Amino acid sequence: MTAVLYPEREVPSQASVLEARKNTAHAWFSNLRDQVCELYEELEEHAPGPFPVKGAQPGRFSLTPWTVQNLDRPTSNEAHSRLDPNCGGVQGILRGRIFEKMAVHVSAVYGTFSETFKNTVLKIDGAGPSEFWASGISLIAHPWNPHVPTLHMNTRFLVTPQKAWFGGGADLTPMLDSRRTQEDPDTELFHSALKYACESHCSVANYTQFKTQCDDYFFLPHRQEHRGIGGIFYDHLWSENFDADMAFTQAVGQTTMAAYAQIVRSNFTKPWTAEERREQGIRRGRYVEFNLLYDRGTLFGLKLGGNIDSILSSMPPYVLWP
């Protein structure tokens, strides 16, 4: 009897596995960006009037690649924290008939964190600087109509020599006080969609916990009020099962994108008054205050010397303070 010899299977190295995971995450964020562009450009194209700007054309996303070395300024605002000059991303901006401004960005950046930055912004304990790699997508929508709430969604994958993890979430900010209730149809739809996404991935996601974390995070201490009606927020998500964590992150992105499109369709033709437009401007002011004072994502980009145009694209184009 002749023995049959099987070649030994090559076991992937830890470095090659990690590189594959980084590629998988970044490819997904880029794919989701393309889905976002297609869906919301379609809404812009087929939306019936009337529109706030007479003769306005359907909005299209303008996609602009950028790298750190092409930014006309220093690459770091904090000693010992920096981005590598070769990294960057793609900035996407739409201005149209439904959306006064919508932004969707994807990036893959790498460099070095200082010890202070790790401890204060990222909440990572550890002595000395640390190398990192991070990729993610952010989506921000500021509609014209005050009856349509503002949306924010962000998911990301971050890697350091010590650990890797996912983070992100989605939250909704109604512009009118009359819509800032848990019984409002938009609020109910948004929360039920995110709850379903969490429950469909219950091995790694806990809706109650993530909802509470969102309420705690999107809070303005100086005004003692929440920014909006919440959603979910999670960070340092690492279950030791990359595929499960990745699947949940994908569900957050697609669920948010679809739920918000439904909310937009339900509201963007509702008539609105000058007083409601003023109320929208004031509420947007609260949005600006949170992003500039407390948002960790904004601090992340500014302290590392990222693309300021992308970082501050979350700012609404029209805002008021009474």
Give CA–CA dist 8/5, Å, rounded.
9
CA–CA separation, 167 and 236 (whole Å): 6
Q: Give CA–CA dist 11/8, Å, rounded.
A: 9
**Active-site option among 26, 147, 152, 191:** 152
- At 227, which helix (H) or strand (E)? none
CB 101 within 8 A of CB 317: yes
142 is catalytic: no
Burial class (CB in 10 A: 0-12, 13-18, 19+), 62: exposed
Between the alpha carbon of residue 233 and those of residues 96, 154, 211, 249, 260, the distances in Å are 29, 9, 7, 11, 17
Two tokens, residue 225: 């009020």
| Residues 306 and 315 sit within 8 Å (Cβ to Cβ) | no
Which residues are the active-site residues?
152
